[in-house]
C-alpha cells in the first residue's frame, strides 16, 4: 500500500496600523520584496494613517512649542489620541499601541518574536523634538527603540519593526525553519554562508561544506557561530543557550588566544574584541 506523506505548514496573519505624518515614506519598503509578497499572499495587511487627518482646526496643527521653553516642537496629544481611538475602535485596549521612541525598550529578535504572536499591532511614529508625555503614559502600551541613537522620525523604526516581525509570521518565508538559524535567534550570531563558485579569487569554500557529511557540517556551523559571537559580540554569550560542548569549544578558543603573542590577537590574526568568557 502506498503511503502518502502530507506536509502542512501553519500560516499566520498580522495587521499593522501605522500612524505617521509622512505616509509617503513607506512606499518603496512595503511595495517590494518580502513585504510585497507577504501582502499579496494575504499574510500581512498594512494600513497607513496620516496623523494630520485627525487634527482639528483650519490648519490641522499636529505640533506645538514645549511648555517650559527649549528648542524644537512637540507632537500634540489630541490628534494622536483621536487617531488611535478612531483606528482601533472597539479593539482599543486589546491591541498593543507601540510608540517608537529612543526612550523605549530595545528592539531585539526576542521582541520581534514576541510581537509576531499578535494578530494586530499599532505603531506611532514620532517626529520633531518628540511626543507629548501624555502619549507615552496614557496612550502607548509599549515603547520601542531600535537602537541607542536618534533618528529624525519614527518611520524608519516602524519599517524595521514591520519587516523584522513579518519575517517571523508563519508562511512568509519559503523555508519555515530559516528564522531559527538567523543571527540572534538563539542568542548567537549566525555561521558564515557560502555559495558557488567553490573558489573565488583564490578564496576557497571550507572543505567541510563540500563534504556532504551532514553531522560535520552542523558541528562546523555551530563552532563558527560560537567563534563569530565570541569575536564580535562576546556580550551575547552570557545569555545564549549553550551546551557543555559549546563551552568546551569557547574555552579552547580562549586558550588559543592566550597562547598568541601579544595576547590581544585572535587565531585569525586581527584585532578582536573578544574578552574573557562570561562565567557559567
Shortest distance, CB of residue 157 to ligand SAM, whole angstroms?
4
Size of the site for ligand SAM (CB under 6 A): 20
135 touches ligand SAM (CB under 6 A): no
Distance in Å, CB of 160 to ligand SAM, minimum: 8
Please confirm, yes or no, whether 276 is among the known catalytic residues: no
Q: Which stretch binds ligand SAM (CB under 6 A): 58-66, 126-134, 163-171, 257-265?
A: 126-134
Q: 53: which DSSP letter?
A: G
End-to-end Cα spacing for the chain: 54
Q: Is 64 an interacting residue with respect to ligand SAM (CB under 6 A)? A: no
In 3D, which of 85, 17, 82 has the Cα closest to residue 55?
A: 82
Q: Which is nearer to ligand SAM, 51 or 172 (CB)?
A: 51
Cα three-residue angle 66-68-71, rounded to 5 degrees? 50
State how far the Cα of 81 lies from the Cα of 135, in Å rounded to an integer.
Answer: 7
3-state secondary structure of 145: strand
Enumerate residues 150-209 that contact ligand SAM by CB under 6 A: 150-154, 157
- C-alpha 223 chain-centroid distance: 24
CA distance 158 to 126: 10
Residue 94 Cβ vs ligand SAM, minimum distance, rounded to whole Å: 23
Based on the shown chain and the rule CB under 6 A, indicate whether residue 102 belongs to the binding site for ligand SAM: yes
**Residue 79 touching ligand SAM (CB under 6 A):** no
Q: Least separation, in Å, of the C-beta of 36 and ligand SAM?
A: 24
Whether residue 182 lies in the annotated active site: yes
Is residue 15 within 8 Å of residue 119, measured between CB atoms? Answer: yes
Give the closest residue to 47 by CA, choosing from 156, 158, 149.
158
Backbone angles phi, psi at 11, to 5 degrees: -120, 150
Residue of 146, 159, 253, 274 interacting with ligand SAM (CB under 6 A): 146
Residues carrying an active site annotation? 102, 129, 167, 182
Task: Report the interface residues with ligand SAM, using CB under 6 A.
Answer: 100-103, 125-127, 129-131, 145-147, 149-154, 157
Amino acid at each position: 500500500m502506498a503511503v502518502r506523506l502530507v506536509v502542512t505548514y501553519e500560516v499566520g496573519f498580522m495587521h499593522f496600523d501605522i500612524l505617521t505624518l509622512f505616509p509617503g515614506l513607506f512606499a518603496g519598503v512595503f511595495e517590494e520584496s518580502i513585504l510585497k509578497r507577504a501582502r499579496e499572499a494575504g499574510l500581512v495587511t498594512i494600513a497607513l494613517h496620516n496623523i494630520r487627518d485627525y487634527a482639528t482646526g483650519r490648519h490641522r496643527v499636529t505640533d506645538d512649542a514645549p511648555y517650559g521653553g527649549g528648542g524644537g516642537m512637540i507632537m500634540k496629544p489630541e490628534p494622536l489620541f483621536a487617531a488611535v481611538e478612531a483606528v482601533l475602535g472597539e479593539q482599543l485596549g486589546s491591541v498593543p499601541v507601540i510608540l517608537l521612541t529612543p526612550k523605549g525598550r530595545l528592539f531585539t529578535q526576542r521582541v520581534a518574536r514576541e510581537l509576531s504572536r499578535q494578530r494586530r499591532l499599532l505603531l506611532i511614529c514620532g517626529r520633531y523634538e518628540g511626543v507629548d508625555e501624555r502619549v507615552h503614559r496614557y496612550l502607548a502600551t509599549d515603547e520601542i527603540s531600535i537602537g541607542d541613537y536618534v533618528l529624525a522620525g519614527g518611520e524608519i523604526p516602524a519599517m524595521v519593526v514591520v519587516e523584522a516581525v513579518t519575517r517571523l509570521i508563519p508562511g512568509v518565508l519559503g523555508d519555515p525553519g530559516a528564522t531559527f538559524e538567523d543571527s540572534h535567534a538563539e542568542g548567537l550570531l549566525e555561521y558564515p554562508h557560502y555559495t558557488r563558485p567553490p573558489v573565488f579569487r583564490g578564496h576557497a569554500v571550507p572543505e567541510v561544506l563540500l563534504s556532504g557529511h551532514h553531522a560535520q557540517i552542523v558541528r562546523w556551523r555551530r563552532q563558527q557561530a560560537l567563534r563569530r559571537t565570541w569575536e564580535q559580540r562576546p556580550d551575547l554569550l552570557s545569555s545564549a543557550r549553550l551546551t557543555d560542548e559549546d563551552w568546551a569549544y569557547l574555552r579552547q578558543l580562549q586558550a588559543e588566544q592566550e597562547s598568541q603573542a601579544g595576547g590581544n590577537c585572535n587565531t585569525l590574526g586581527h584585532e578582536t574584541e573578544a574578552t574573557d568568557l562570561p562565567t557559567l
